[in-house]
Structure 1
Amino acid sequence: MRKKYAVLTLLMTIVPALLAGCQSDGEQGPATSTQESSAGSGYNGKDQLKITDKPITVTLFYAFGGNGAPKGDMPAWRETAKITNVAMKNVANESITEEKQAFNTMLSSGDLPDLIHGQRDTINPIISQGALIPLDDLIAKQAPNIQKFLADYPEARRAGAGPDGKLYTLTGTLGGEPGKALPSMGFFIRQDWLNKLGLKAPTTLDEYKKALYAFRQQDPNGNGKQDEVPYFYRDKGIRPLLQLWGANHEWYVGKDDKVHHGKAEPEYRAALKELSQWYKDGIIDPEIFTRGSQARQFLLGNNLGGATIDWFGSTAAVNDAVKAQVPAINFVAMAPPADVTGKVKFNHTREPIHSYAWGISAQAKDPVTVIRYMDFFFSPTGERLMNFGLEGTHYELVNNEPVPKPVALSHSGGFPNFLRSIGAGYEIGRRGSLAGELNSMNDIGKNGFTMYQKSNWLAKPFPVLTFTAEEKKTIDNAMVNLTPFLDEYEQKGLMGAQDVDATWDKHLEEMNKMNLQKVLDAYNSAYARYKAESK
């Protein structure tokens, strides 16, 4: 009943606002089914990319988050309009930089743009509320590039499907191969410290532990003090280290082909118990819960930090940033140490598709034009434009491969931020390119990324699941309390404020009282649908 009421409420808000939406420049009018004829009949997604004979403006909601947002007057979008004859107007409130707040403000206004963009877990729930239209028929008739993309990346179809199995949103890729995980972070260690202490790069958990203890006890920074911080992390807690005990920090699919929460499993208990001893012995940063995002820069810049697990590009770049203070620093990526079972793996990976998506709203007056517009970004021309900018201005073709020009590579914020400055690089529905990420890295970063990418260590990411409105409500209602509860237990256990073995059984009881099992049931229900759709 609540679900029906939510749908009715949204539709009552949407219907009076039908004057919003994609329109011919300079005129407005009521939505009509005959507006399909406004789209130029010559568009084929390949060598004919002009979508309409008459200039059209498509409205888009794309929140102005931490990385900004695309605007229609940016070079990449002006070029898109020049090619397609379709301009873009971003209607998001630029003064609201918190994405969910901006998204909810747009929805509550009842005035929906042609295209709605957002995080997949934010945008998918509005499917059941009637705010988006199904795309299957439009794609089959009007979007050849999207058809090929969905065939190449079946996980993208699953990510954009509603509970009825129809496709409502389109995501994009980060680059890489379909079905294969992408590296995100990796193990980093002070090679200069290893050399000074006569140690080899560790290849097992035991060797990793010995190296970290040596960093603490043998004064590798040479200042005569026991001030080294062997392991640090920019985020709170011990999440990346858990994999060395076969533990998971969140949701995962177990050997029984069921969804579990890692922090309710015995492997997590074993990891937390051992790591609490590391913390007691000074191996783990004593300020790991409070030091924050500047931990890496501060500890390496002061020649105190020994190892971490972090993103390749930005972590490798610290070598250059602190070279003046620490001339001998050589902070390099290393292979993951074999875990307690002897297996070499790395859990912190990325799925090939990114976490954002966009869809056509129920108020769009000309869905044909909009789906062709979306299709353009999956064309080779649109893909290259959004991955590299404008040919001749931002990149040159060398042996038919785009090579960024100095203006792009010398940007103070790196290549990804350069792309955003011209309106490219944003996470719309399109094929991404790893070139943008690699172009922003120094040699240490590139070598680490490539080492992980070419390996067989990368664990398959947790699958993209689509939840019903009721499942989403169950999960949200429980996790709002469970998440801080789990975080608090980890902090107390690590810091020795409570004994892990003595409190574990009671901890599990409390988790179940807080409806963990209901959340697991919701996840497993969604996972069952995922498996059925994958056959």
Structure 2
Amino acid sequence: MGGLVMKVKKMVSLSSALVLSSSLVLTACGSKDNASSGGDGGKTAAPTDISISVISYADEFIDETNSLWQEFEKKTNTKLKINWISATTFEDKINVLLASGNLPDLTFVEDITAAPVGPQIRNMIKQGAFWDLTPFLKDYPNLTSPEMKETIEKSKIDGKNYTIPRYYPSYGGGVFPILRKDWLDKLGLKMPETVDEFYNTLKAFKEKDPDGNGKADTIGYAASPAYMGFMYNVFNDTQGVWKLRDGQLHSILTEDASKDAMLWIKKAYDDGLFPADFAILNFSQINDAFQSGKAGGGGYAMNNAFSRLAPIQKVDPKADLMPITSLTGPKGNKYTPSGSPFYGHYLIPKKVSEDKVKKILAFMDYGYSKEGNKLARYGIPGVHYNEENGNIVATEQAKKDKVMTNLMDSIFHEINEYSAVAAAGMPADFYARQKQIVDERKKVKVAKPDEGLISEAYNKYYSEIKKKADDMRTKVIVGKASLEEYDKFIADLKADPNMQLITKEINEAYQASLKK
């Protein structure tokens, strides 16, 4: 979560962001009605037009002809124009959108801290390009409910709410292995708990004919270098990109443990446990490999254990997917991904009138009501699902209307500590297993020592530094660079003035945070 998409090779320049921030001037727009957080709308007023851009992990996108889309319009008295942006191309397209100066009423961004987009957004906020929503939020009970309190508080910038954070539970998300449990069972293997067991499991998936067709045509794990990034955290016993050691924060780019993680990935690559095009696969290609029925696992948030299952079951009806709870690294410490209580932010540009800001907030408030949350997650009761013995049972119409891909849930995530592991149509026993894994993950506490820390040097230089480090790692993994070349690269990186400035600033921010 956060995620979860490939990094792009280009960044929009800071000057583009500043040009944009000066161009987003206040204009009078919006209609006279008010979307209701209670869902009844203004029956006599004209609907409020709301344009939205948001990330989506679906393979197909719905439009205004979809019944669920129309139901949201009806409940909130709005006319929606939604631009679904594929996760594969999101960062590239959001940069183009920011540079264009033609932002929708609600613009979703994944991160307002890290480069490349974060620094641009923060500069735009300083320039007055987006609304400060702090004075308005008190009037929207669902956005400020006890369940959203931590989400709203932790998403503040300099003590103010410039964004509407998208709720996401702290556990259950993040890129982490999901494995073919039916293959484990067939080969007599247990769910791996250590990095060594994980390696041996993937090797068995490749070599022991788990699909039983008598051919050597299976893949251990569907991934690219970016989607093996969790291994660097496992080996470093930390969340994020910084490691607390001896009272100081150190970049995991330069840690010895990261070299060990890289060598683990290289060994797996050398043994053919990844797809042949491992070095260059994008998100959709990884999905294709995973859903082909020929891969033993892939890295996803936990809900994908069910949402990715249907394509695999078309190949093998007995297929079953199960997330790994945690992995124990070389030092004996358990790791599982966890994060902030939100994933992504919505911003409202200043070109939107104050009257319309309130209508947009009412729309979002409805989405975070119990009714709106349930509608976004499961669709229209009696149409897309029925409740049987307290369980949600999806209908065939849910499949036709693509409710199961959770597109509307991309806008408002369900407020539920288990929402990252659920999906429409998930059987009760499957959901119970998912919840049990989350409960076990909650017992694994791995700190993210740089959470909330800001460094201008980091925002300015880190993205390019990390790209170079990622490129070097990939070259070593696929045999295009030697370990001697890698060691020299790391030595040069430690001596790099920009890297040293980043480390200095982030440690100053860390020490300052300890005094608060």
Same fold (TM > 0.5): yes
- Is 2:149 aligned against 1:166? no
| Residue in structure 1 matched with residue 128 of structure 2 by the alignment | 130
| Residue in structure 2 matched with residue 426 of structure 1 by the alignment | 410
SS in 1 for 2:231: helix
| Residue in structure 2 matched with residue 354 of structure 1 by the alignment | 343
Matches within 5 A, 1:102-113: none
CA contact (8 A) 1:172 1:430 kept: no
Mapped to 2, the partners of 1:332 and 1:308 lie a distance apart of 11
Mapped to 1, the partners of 2:320 and 2:248 lie a distance apart of 42
CA contact (8 A) 1:194 1:201 kept: yes
Deviation of residue 170 (structure 1)? 0.8
Matches within 5 A, 1:47-196: 50=41, 54-55=45-46, 57-62=48-53, 75-76=67-68, 78-84=70-76, 86-90=77-81, 99=90, 114-121=105-112, 122=117, 124-125=121-122, 126-140=124-138, 142-148=139-145, 152-159=148-155, 161-162=156-157, 164-174=158-168, 176=169, 180-189=170-179
Mapped to 2, the partners of 1:337 and 1:528 lie a distance apart of 30
SS in 2 for 1:410: helix
Deviation of residue 233 (structure 1)? 2.2
Give the root-mean-square deviation of aligned CA atoms. 4.8
Specify every segment of 5 or more residues in structure 2 that has no aligned partner in the other structure, as ranges. 1-12
CA contact (8 A) 2:107 2:348 kept: yes
Q: 1:487 to 1:83 in 2, by over 3 A?
A: closer
Q: 1:99 to 1:286 in 2, by over 3 A?
A: closer
Q: What is the identity, as a one-letter code, of the residue corresponding to 2:424?
A: N
- Is 2:31 aligned against 1:23? yes
Matches within 5 A, 1:28-427: 50=41, 54-55=45-46, 57-62=48-53, 75-76=67-68, 78-84=70-76, 86-90=77-81, 99=90, 114-121=105-112, 122=117, 124-125=121-122, 126-140=124-138, 142-148=139-145, 152-159=148-155, 161-162=156-157, 164-174=158-168, 176=169, 180-189=170-179, 199-212=189-202, 229-233=219-223, 236=226, 238-246=228-236, 251-254=241-244, 259-283=249-273, 287-290=277-280, 293-294=284-285, 298=289, 305-314=295-304, 321=311, 332-347=322-337, 349=338, 351-359=340-348, 361=350, 363-366=352-355, 367-396=357-386, 403-411=392-400, 415-417=404-406, 420=407, 424-427=408-411
Larger Rg: 1
Matches within 5 A, 1:428-447: 428=412, 431=415, 434=419, 437-441=422-426, 446=431
| Residue in structure 2 matched with residue 28 of structure 1 by the alignment | none
Q: Deviations over 1:155-199 (max 9, x none)?
A: 43332x23x32111111223x5xxx42244554455566566655
Q: Which moved more, 1:193-202 or 1:490-499?
A: 193-202
Q: 1:384 to 1:336 in 2, by over 3 A?
A: closer
Mapped to 1, the partners of 2:353 and 2:232 lie a distance apart of 47
Mapped to 2, the partners of 1:459 and 1:356 lie a distance apart of 25
Mapped to 1, the partners of 2:92 and 2:468 lie a distance apart of 25
Q: Deviations over 1:305-356 (max 9, x none)?
A: 4455445454567766456766876665444343222233223x45432223
Q: What is the identity, as a one-letter code, of the residue corresponding to 1:452?
A: I
Q: What is the identity, as a one-letter code, of the residue corresponding to 2:440?
A: S
| Residue in structure 2 matched with residue 504 of structure 1 by the alignment | 487
Identity percentage over the alignment? 19
SS in 2 for 1:62: strand
| Residue in structure 1 matched with residue 477 of structure 2 by the alignment | 494
2:501 to 518, 524, 534: 518
Q: 1:525 to 1:119 in 2, by over 3 A?
A: farther
Q: 1:182 to 1:512 in 2, by over 3 A?
A: farther
Mapped to 2, the partners of 1:323 and 1:531 lie a distance apart of 51
CA contact (8 A) 1:7 1:130 kept: no
Q: 1:260 to 1:398 in 2, by over 3 A?
A: farther
Mapped to 1, the partners of 2:317 and 2:392 lie a distance apart of 32
Q: 1:332 to 1:489 in 2, by over 3 A?
A: same
Mapped to 2, the partners of 1:308 and 1:4 lie a distance apart of 36
Deviation of residue 22 (structure 1)? 1.3
Q: Deviations over 1:49-85 (max 9, x none)?
A: 556974352443425877588877764565455445x
Mapped to 2, the partners of 1:93 and 1:223 lie a distance apart of 39
Specify every segment of 5 or more residues in structure 1 that has no aligned partner in the other structure, as ranges. 26-38
CA contact (8 A) 1:117 1:358 kept: yes
CA contact (8 A) 1:247 1:262 kept: no
Q: 1:206 to 1:363 in 2, by over 3 A?
A: closer
CA contact (8 A) 1:71 1:88 kept: no
Q: 1:490 to 1:237 in 2, by over 3 A?
A: farther
CA contact (8 A) 1:246 1:340 kept: no
Deviation of residue 402 (structure 1)? 7.9
Q: 1:448 to 1:458 in 2, by over 3 A?
A: farther
Q: 1:250 to 1:451 in 2, by over 3 A?
A: same
CA contact (8 A) 2:237 2:335 kept: no
Q: Which moved more, 1:48-57 or 1:487-496?
A: 48-57
| Residue in structure 1 matched with residue 10 of structure 2 by the alignment | none
Q: 1:156 to 1:260 in 2, by over 3 A?
A: farther
- Is 2:473 aligned against 1:483? no
TM-score (norm 2): 0.73
Q: What is the identity, as a one-letter code, of the residue corresponding to 1:146?
A: L
